[in-house]
């Protein structure tokens, strides 16, 4: 038997209201009016409509019918975020230089060759970037990091560099690759009152000569 409490439990379900609407509609709201029930439904074009039925009409089997399972309704922004996340997760399989495409850098030929022709294809990534100063080692490291992150194989990252370059690495990784790193030093360790910063942060930069 369909009564107001039962109908409330069906909100979100697809129903047929014969004689009221053409085709299935989604039950959006229910109001108990005593001997009658007010139903608010969402029609196929997304608009909201209302109708009032008495209890006999609801239970005669000819005017009201429940269809299928409950629907999960999401707004446009949530749907866009879901589709975009799936696109990014699988894009590297279709765009071999995807990290370049989505970052704020224009890789030089030797940087692209190093990352995409020599480093990424290897089964074990163990390399030394030993180019001259100014050749873009930070860019190459950032591209490699971004590609590994897109492939979900570099969730936790530790960067060791000389003390004068820690802030530079942090800024460049953020500005060019939208990767946020935490600088780990003695001040942060003291501020966290004994908690391990390595357990609190997944991406860290530390002075290679400092013991944090």
Full strand arrangement of the beta sheet holding 157-161: 157-161, 203-207, 182-184
What pLDDT digit, counting tens, does each position of 32-72 carry? 888 788 888 988 878 888 888 877 777 766 677 888 654 45
Cα of first residue to Cα of last residue in the chain, in angstroms, is 68
| Residue in the structure block whose two tokens are 């370049």 | 100
Rounded to the nearest 5°, which phi and psi values hold at 70? -60, 145
Mutual angle of helices 166-177 and 137-150, in 10-degree steps: 50
- Is there a contact between 46 and 30 (Cβ–Cβ < 8 Å)? no
For residues 161 and 149, membership in a common domain is answered with no
Length of the chain equals: 212
Of 18, 48, 67, which marks where a domain is finished? Answer: 67
For residues 97 and 60, membership in a common domain is answered with no
What pLDDT digit, counting tens, does each position of 78-122 carry? 777 777 667 666 665 666 676 776 676 777 888 888 888 888 888
The CATH number for 56's domain is 2.30.30
Of 25, 52, 67, which marks where a domain is finished? Answer: 67
Of 105, 139, 154, which marks where a domain is finished? Answer: 154
What pLDDT digit, counting tens, does each position of 131-141 carry? 777 778 888 88
* Contact partners, residue 202, CB within 8 Å, separation at least 6: 155, 156, 157
For residues 164 and 150, membership in a common domain is answered with no
For residues 15 and 63, membership in a common domain is answered with yes
For residues 163 and 145, membership in a common domain is answered with no
Token pair for 55: 């209890």
- Is there a contact between 147 and 99 (Cβ–Cβ < 8 Å)? yes
Q: Could you tell me the residue range of the domain that residue 92 belongs to?
A: 74-154
């Amino acid at each position: 038997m369909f009564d107001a409490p039962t109908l409330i439990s069906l909100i979100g379900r697809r129903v047929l209201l014969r004689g009221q609407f053409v085709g299935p509609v989604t039950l959006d709201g229910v109001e108990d009016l005593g001997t009658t029930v007010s139903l608010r439904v969402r029609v196929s074009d997304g608009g909201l409509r209302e109708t009032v039925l008495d209890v006999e009409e609801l239970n005669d089997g000819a005017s009201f019918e429940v269809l299928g399972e409950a629907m999960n309704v999401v707004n446009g922004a949530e749907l866009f975020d879901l589709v975009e996340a799936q696109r990014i997760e699988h894009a590297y399989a279709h765009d071999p230089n995807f990290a370049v495409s989505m970052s704020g850098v224009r890789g030089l030929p030797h940087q692209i060759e190093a990352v995409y022709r020599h480093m990424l294809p290897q089964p074990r990534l163990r390399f030394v970037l030993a180019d001259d100063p100014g050749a873009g080692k930070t860019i190459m490291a950032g591209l490699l990091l971004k590609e590994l992150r897109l492939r979900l194989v570099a969730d936790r990252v530790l960067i060791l560099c000389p003390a004068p370059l820690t802030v530079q690495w942090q800024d460049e990784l953020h500005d060019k690759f939208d990767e946020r790193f935490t600088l780990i030093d003695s001040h942060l360790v003291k501020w966290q009152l004994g908690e391990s910063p390595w357990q609190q942060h997944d991406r860290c930069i530390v002075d290679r000569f400092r013991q944090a």
